[in-house]
């Protein structure tokens, strides 16, 4: 593979599993340095250890502004900048299967991670990017929002 991301620095939330994990591997393969953010410490740290010095793992709850700010601060300190913010973290539990009998007790956390987390991550990253010449923000979404019941 080429090094078309050489010199670039990315944060990938939800980076320990699934789409996020595959994205981390591809970004590194293409030359980027990547901060892996996730709540899954075991899988996130294992991935960072396997991929080596161009990555680090930081346990991050994307619904918490202080944790996202700490993630951006560490990324900039360790890797010298931030060019890509990939908001990939998301949770699905709490989404109703049957609206008429749905239990919405977990829905607040779903909204905080899936909506607020994207907004906070984008805002905090953009503040850095605007001061340093720009960057890219990528948001993963779910097909769950396009299909009924």
CATH of the domain at 97: 3.40.50.720
> Tokens representing 22?
């595959």
Query: CA 15, CA 88: separation in Å to the nearest integer?
Result: 7
Report if residue 4 sits inside a domain: no
Report if residue 92 sits inside a domain: yes
> Tokens representing 12?
């990938």
Report if residue 63 sits inside a domain: yes
pLDDT of amino acid 36 = 99
Report if residue 2 sits inside a domain: no
List the chain pLDDT tens, one digit each, 149 residues: 577 999 999 999 999 999 999 999 999 999 999 999 999 999 999 999 999 999 999 999 999 999 999 999 999 999 999 999 999 999 976 566 777 887 777 788 989 999 999 999 999 999 999 999 999 999 998 776 666 65
| pTM, to two decimals | 0.92
Report if residue 77 sits inside a domain: yes
Report if residue 61 sits inside a domain: yes
Report if residue 21 sits inside a domain: yes
Task: Assess contact for 70 and 121: CB atoms under 8 A.
Answer: no
Task: Assess contact for 79 and 94: CB atoms under 8 A.
Answer: no
Report if residue 45 sits inside a domain: yes
Which segments of 24-142 are extended strands (E)? Answer: 33-38, 55-59, 84-87, 136-139
CB proximity list for 84: less than 8 A, separation 6 or greater: 8, 9, 10, 11, 27, 32, 135, 136, 137, 138
Which range of residues forms the domain containing residue 130?
Answer: 9-144
CA distances from 123 to 14, 69, 85, 90, 120 (A): 17, 10, 10, 17, 5
C-alpha 26: how far from its chain's center? Answer: 14
Number of domains in the chain: 1
Query: CA 132, CA 38: separation in Å to the nearest integer?
Result: 26
């Amino acid at each position: 593979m080429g090094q078309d991301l050489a010199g670039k620095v990315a944060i990938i939330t939800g980076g320990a599993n699934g789409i996020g994990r595959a994205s981390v591997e591809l970004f590194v393969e293409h030359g980027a340095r990547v901060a892996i953010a996730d709540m899954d410490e075991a899988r996130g740290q294992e991935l960072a250890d396997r991929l080596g010095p161009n990555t680090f793992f930081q346990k991050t709850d994307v619904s918490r502004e202080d944790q996202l700010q700490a993630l951006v601060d560490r990324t900039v300190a360790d890797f010298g900048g931030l060019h890509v913010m990939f908001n990939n973290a998301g949770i699905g539990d709490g989404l109703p299967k049957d609206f008429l009998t749905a239990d919405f007790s977990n829905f607040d956390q779903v909204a905080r991670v899936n909506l607020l987390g994207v907004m906070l991550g984008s805002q905090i990253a953009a503040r850095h990017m605007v001061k340093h010449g720009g960057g890219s923000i990528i948001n993963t979404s779910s097909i769950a929002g396009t299909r009924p019941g």
